[in-house]
Structure 1
Amino acid sequence: MSNSSPTSRRVVLVNIPNGNIKLQLVRNRLYNRACMSENCVICPFRKSEDCATMGVIYEIECLTCQATYIGETGRPLWVRINERLASKKRESLITPLGKHRKEDHDGADFNIRCTTLANESRTSARKALEAFWISERAARLNSRNEHLAVISDLMPFVSLCEL
């Protein structure tokens, strides 16, 4: 016969807060994902955020020749960078990293460094900042000249930036 009568069992009181609408609707991160990748090309170079940060103007640097590409995304940064890395792997000539691999490195693979230049949630402001950084950093892997019109409007403010 067992010694575990209902009165001899241990009782633990647990305080569970009342549920409210805020707790049900709000999450801290839409992409609730901690980076677990040992070879993440984003997190080792980030200061405060991680690869799941959204609304980012980023710079990709070829660690072989130091050529740079500047882009922006409203999605989690890791999603966009993975797309960029996939195009590099395919040597896609219609993408900056694929074209760079094929034309500048004769198809040889290269490592990259990804750093964040700015965070901005508003699309129009993010695109303006992207154009500004492309011009300021003279990113040679960016092939489009569409940033020039935006830059001409922003040039008077360059001295106000700490670049």
Structure 2
Amino acid sequence: MEDDIKQARNGNQEAFIRLIKINQASLYRVSKAIVKTDEDCADAIQETILKAYHAIHTLRDPNYFKTWLIRILINECKRILQRKKRLVPLIELKQTQTTTDDYGHIEIQEVVDSLEEELRIIVVLYYFNDLPIKRISQILEQPIGTIKSRLHRARLKLANLFELHDEHGKERMS
């Protein structure tokens, strides 16, 4: 991957395409956690790829390519959310409710989606993209202590949501 990054920095389009393909799933998961709709995800990812392609020469350390790419994506997602807020300022969005299927199983993604954005982003980066806290701190440009405390808060909230679900599931079965 490091060779691809060096080649991409020198203008090799094929190397850049390979890098994007390697990171495609991470880009989707992160954007989905922030903007929710597939349409907005596609827009954010497309803009991220364009900006990354044009700015790849500014990447100093090839080891931080993924961090750099995800930071661009998060900024694009936030831009999309800001644009939507300006377009629809009067609509109140309902908080996503956790739902269960016919068998009483809960969807993990639905529970994560019910978290507020600042916690949801960290959970997605840490658990779904396997990024260390230090990298998340760099991507979000926030202190490591802030990331740790938000991750802790998210874990507590997720545990409570799963506990509530278990209690409701047991009540239905008895």
TM superposition score normalised by structure 1 = 0.26
Structure with a larger share of its residues in helix: 2
- Which entry has the higher C-alpha Rg, 1 or 2? 1
Structure with a larger share of its residues in strand: 1
